[in-house]
Structure formats: structure tokens, C-alpha cells
């Protein structure tokens, strides 16, 4: 039986002092994969009961601070803990400079190899993990990712205006994680800032043939998020709000909370 586990380490838009910044841990076998690395992510991994030493792959969507400022502390924590296993980091152009400049400034030499891939539209295979990246429509170069592990597919689309067309590789995911920063009545604001609404996310899930939708990167202005969930479920019934430390277990081709 093939089993995959998603743990939402953070799912909010940025705000001062937040510990809920975007990061999702994907647990497969004895290793883990990280989708984005919001500030403090190494502490949230530990709080979830997992080790930073087991993070094998990190996929960075873009270089806004709420998605990347936890990356260097994560790399340091792995090394300080004695980890010698290499790590793969995939991200948009600029991710290599970001990592190498920070390592140089901090005078930090990790105990392990860091393998960096700058990509736009590309397919990579690392161990038994097949990763496909494609660009989306944010205010700076931003990637979405399709992750295939043991016939289970995740499509991760954060920080983007609505997409009219998706690549075939993104279709029919077991779980779609999609930017839902604003409710529908703030659609103009979403467009201005390069984001999507909960309705946009639901329409993407319906068009892609997703099995499960997680509404993600919700603005902290929404203390009560029921409006976003109600709007999304009008178009896609199997939608849920991504809440911090929520776990999603995927067994073969079915997903359950």
C-alpha cells in the first residue's frame, strides 16, 4: 500500500510576527519534501514530529520573503544536527544567488552537498520523485509545481493570478493546493497584487479534475474564513481551508483528511 502524508506547516499570507507562513511538508517513505520555506519552518517541522535531516528536496515557488526566509535556517539546522545527506533545492532564477550569497555572508559551510536547480518549465526526477515546474502569473518570477510520488500527484499553485490554461502535467491531481488569498468581492485587489480568490481556486480544481482542493495563502485579514470556503464549495464541493498543522493522508488514488 502506497501512502503519502501532507502536513501544512503554514498557510497564511504574510503579516508581522506570523508563524503561519507558507510551507507544506510532504512525507514519503523515510524522507520528506518541502513546498516553500516560510520563516521559522525548521521549528514547525520539529513541532510536527519530523526531523530537518529527513528533508531531501525543497521546492521554492518564488523569492518573496514569506516563501523563502526559512530556507537558510533550515540548512543550518541540518548541518548543526550533524546531517551529511545531500539536499536538492529547486526554484526560479535567482535562487542560486540567494543561497550562495547568504552562505558566504554567514561564513557557513554545510556538512553536506547542496544541489541547486534553477528552472522555469522543466521536468526533473530525484530518486522516485518526479517534479514538473511551470511559470505562473505573480508580480515576480514564480513557479508552480507538480509532484508525482508512487502514482500519487500533488499540484501546488501559490501566489498567482488566475490561470486560463494549465499544462497537461498538472491535470487530475489527488490534491490541488491553490492560492486563495482573497474572497471573491476583492477580485480586483487580487488581480492588482498578483493573487487569486477562493472562487478562482475552485474553478481551477474543477477544470483540472482535482480530487481534493486546499485553499492556501489566505490573507490574514480574514479572521473568519467561512466566506471563502462557502464561495469555493459553490464551484467545487471537496474544498477545505488549509489550516496550520492540518494533515492530509493520501492512500493510492484516494485522499482523506
Residues known to be catalytic = 66
Give the closest residue to 50 by CA, choosing from 26, 84, 14, 75. 26
Distance (Å, rounded) from C-alpha 200 to C-alpha 58?
26
State the burial class of residue 57 (Cβ atoms within 10 Å of its Cβ: 0-12, 13-18, 19+): buried
Distance (Å, rounded) from C-alpha 225 to C-alpha 8?
17
3-state DSSP assignment of residue 254 = strand
Residue with cell 490574514: 220
Tell me phi and psi for residue 95, to 5 degrees: -70, -35
Distance (Å, rounded) from C-alpha 67 to C-alpha 79?
21
Give the sign of the dihedral formed by CA 182, CA 183, CA 184, CA 188. negative
Radius of gyration of the chain (CA): 17
β 175-179/213-216 pair status: parallel
Give the closest residue to 213 by CA, choosing from 195, 236, 185. 236
Do the Cβ atoms of 179 and 199 come closer than 8 Å?
A: no
Give the closest residue to 148 by CA, choosing from 166, 169, 178. 169
Residue with cell 511559470: 135
Amino acid at each position: 500500500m502506497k501512502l503519502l502524508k501532507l502536513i501544512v506547516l503554514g498557510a497564511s499570507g504574510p503579516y508581522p510576527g506570523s508563524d503561519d507562513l507558507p510551507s507544506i511538508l510532504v512525507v514519503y517513505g523515510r524522507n520528506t519534501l518541502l513546498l516553500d520555506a516560510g520563516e521559522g519552518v525548521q521549528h514547525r517541522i520539529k513541532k510536527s514530529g519530523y526531523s530537518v535531516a529527513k528533508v531531501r528536496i525543497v521546492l521554492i515557488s518564488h523569492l518573496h520573503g514569506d516563501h523563502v526566509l526559512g530556507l537558510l535556517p533550515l540548512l543550518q539546522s541540518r548541518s548543526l544536527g550533524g546531517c551529511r545527506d545531500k539536499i536538492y533545492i529547486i526554484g526560479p532564477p535567482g535562487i542560486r544567488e540567494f543561497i550562495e550569497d547568504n552562505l558566504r555572508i554567514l561564513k557557513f559551510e554545510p556538512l553536506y552537498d547542496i544541489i541547486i536547480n534553477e528552472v522555469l518549465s522543466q521536468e526533473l526526477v530525484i530518486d522516485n520523485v518526479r517534479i514538473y515546474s511551470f511559470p505562473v502569473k505573480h508580480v515576480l518570477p514564480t513557479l508552480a509545481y507538480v509532484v508525482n510520488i508512487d502514482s500519487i500527484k500533488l499540484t501546488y499553485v501559490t501566489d498567482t493570478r488566475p490561470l486560463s490554461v494549465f499544462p497537461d502535467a498538472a491535470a487530475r491531481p489527488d490534491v490541488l493546493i491553490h492560492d486563495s488569498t482573497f474572497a471573491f468581492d476583492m477580485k480586483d485587489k487580487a488581480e492588482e497584487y498578483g493573487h487569486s480568490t477562493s472562487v478562482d481556486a475552485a474553478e481551477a480544481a474543477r477544470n483540472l479534475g482535482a480530487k481534493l482542493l486546499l485553499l492556501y495563502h489566505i490573507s490574514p485579514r480574514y479572521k473568519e474564513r467561512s466566506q471563502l470556503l462557502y464561495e469555493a464549495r459553490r464551484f467545487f464541493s471537496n474544498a477545505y481551508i488549509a489550516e496550520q498543522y492540518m494533515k492530509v493522508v493520501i492512500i493510492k488514488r484516494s485522499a482523506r483528511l
